[in-house]
Structure 1
């Protein structure tokens, strides 16, 4: 897998994941929607740590700075 996520993109994903998990664990959102949000947060955290987004690959998006 080739990295296709830049640092700004990774920070935004991590921020959104923390926000989703916070709403889930504080019982602001419960039930099926809460579990769905927790799952989305897990995917965002996983893609943040591996710096690769399969959806970006399919759409041809690359936010990672190119090395010369």
Structure 2
């Protein structure tokens, strides 16, 4: 897997995931919505830590800074 996520993209995903997890465990988000958002938060954490988003590949997106 070739990295396709930049630092800002990774940080945003991780922060969003932490916010969703916090809201879930403080019972602000509950039920089916909570479960769906927790699954999305898990995906955000995984993709944030490995710097690769599979959905970027078919669209040719790459948020990594290009070094010359």
TM-score when normalising by structure 2: 0.94
The CA deviation string for residues 6-63 of structure 1, in whole angstroms up to 9 with x for no partner, is 0000000011101111111100011111011100000000000110001111111000
Gaps of 5+ in 1: none
| Aligned-residue RMSD, C-alpha | 0.9
- Count of aligned positions: 68
Matches within 5 A, 1:1-68: 1-68=1-68
Which runs of structure 1 show a deviation greater than 6 angstroms over 4 or more consecutive aligned residues?
none
The alpha-carbon deviation at position 66 of structure 1 amounts to 2.5
Gaps of 5+ in 2: none
